[in-house]
A = this chain, B = another copy of it.
């Protein structure tokens, strides 16, 4: 296998942590998004959608989204399970990931892509340019801030989002808490469950990859 990564970006880290939690060691190709390497003809051959992560299998087949890479890895390397152990847990993990993508990671990206000078005309990922829409800056920030009390309730007094087992939903929420700092938002003081849970997740070996 081969993993197309970008060490500074949140999306590939969602898969990089997943790989680390599985105990796998996959050779990595670094794609520098700040230098727009994802838009070079060479990389567009690898993934016409111009995004990382990409997981290339030994037979050359490629998975080109976070969801695709992780669904493959969970099925090919089931231990330890990161997408839930029972039907209910699998549903809950998928629910949480969907929620975090839309209300949290998507909100930060919406703010950042529509306000950062370095992202002029890069309002959306992909090979096509889209103009920035300034209203989305404010909307994305408001949504990201609003996610914290929700996350605090979702964690509650449990060790992890789904209960006593660490899952991909914890990976995604952990990456949100790091990503949201890019738009100068931090954990609100009253979100004590988030703070406690962050301390626990940050101490995992996979958090540092």
Contact = CB atoms under 8 A, between A and B. Distances in A.
Contact of A95 (B64, B126, B130): B64
Nearest to A126: B103
Contacts of A146: 128
A69 interface: yes
A194 B124 CA distance: 25
B94 A87 contact: no
Interface string A88-131: 10111111011100010000000000000000000110101011
Interface stretch (A26-34, A132-140, A200-208): A132-140
26 contacts: A61-B88, A63-B92, A65-B98, A65-B99, A67-B94, A67-B97, A67-B98, A68-B91, A68-B98, A70-B94, A71-B90, A71-B93, A71-B94, A72-B90, A72-B91, A72-B94, A74-B90, A75-B84, A75-B86, A75-B90, A75-B91, A128-B146, A130-B139, A133-B133, A133-B139, A135-B135
Interface of A: 49, 55, 57, 61, 63-72, 74-76, 83-84, 86-88, 90-95, 97-99, 103, 123-124, 126, 128, 130-131, 133, 135-136, 139, 143, 146
